Structure 1
């Protein structure tokens, strides 16, 4: 059977020390890995074969990571410190496959949106802008 159950995927935050220690961000309910994309450079000319446009690969954008959490101020308000930082911090996504595939990346927290509806759980949405090439291992 193909596929992988996403249950157990972890989002971890580096402490910035040497050696760096990563701690799991608690109560993540939904998580997306970096959405990689790439610009293209149009190199079409009057001599392009059979009138087909031609392209080269341009700059790569490491995208964003988004996460939804069951918000608990005592566990999650340290992320506000990340929002205040201008320099990227290291994060990791660890998948629950047999190899514990890891996506490690520096990122800037660009969004921290808590909500506390009167008839549901407190939650928050996090958005991270990845800065540089993610390392997949």
Structure 2
């Protein structure tokens, strides 16, 4: 298989209610899902075999999520309130069709609108993931 079509992928935002409802953020043109990473701890000693460094796994990081949107202040300005929240909010990336989802908590760290004289209103929004994302496989 050569690949999968990304068309239809959504970033959804929770209302944080007891039984949360997730709503797709409108007019998203590009989504960069959580960039998972892990630090390593150098365990090399003077006795390491053949003078090769040795490592073990360290702290993991859920990374950042970013989206680009066709900016509509009427639809997107309420999102700016997330920038004022100290507590993480729940979000999820829903893959197209039945490919599953990635759910995560995150703090919004950036909302950058752009209004060029010769193009559309757009904005870039960035989130820092807090904790471990939950990956739900599709069918």
TM class, shorter-length: over 0.9
Structure 2: distance between partners of 1:112 and 1:101 = 27
Structure 1: distance between partners of 2:99 and 2:17 = 23
Query: Is the aligned partner of 1:102 residue 2:138?
Result: no
Give the aligned length: 136
Query: Is the aligned partner of 1:38 residue 2:38?
Result: yes
Query: C-alpha deviations, 1:12-58, integer Å up to 9, x for none?
Result: 00001010000000000011110011111000001111111000000
Return the TM-score normalized by structure 1. Answer: 0.97
Structure 2 counterpart SS, 1:134: strand
Structure 2: distance between partners of 1:53 and 1:118 = 54
Structure 1 residues 40-119: aligned runs within 5 Å = 40-97=40-97, 99-119=98-118
C-alpha deviation, 1:101, in angstroms:
1.2
C-alpha deviation, 1:94, in angstroms:
0.3
* Runs of 4+ with deviation above 2 angstroms: none
Query: C-alpha deviations, 1:84-123, integer Å up to 9, x for none?
Result: 10000000000114x2310000000000001111110000
What is the RMSD of the two structures over their aligned residues, measured on CA atoms?
0.8
Q: By percentage of residues, which structure has more strand?
A: 2
Return the TM-score normalized by structure 2. Answer: 0.95
List runs of 5+ in structure 2 lacking aligned partners.
none
Residue 131 of structure 1 corresponds to 130
Structure 1 counterpart SS, 2:74: helix
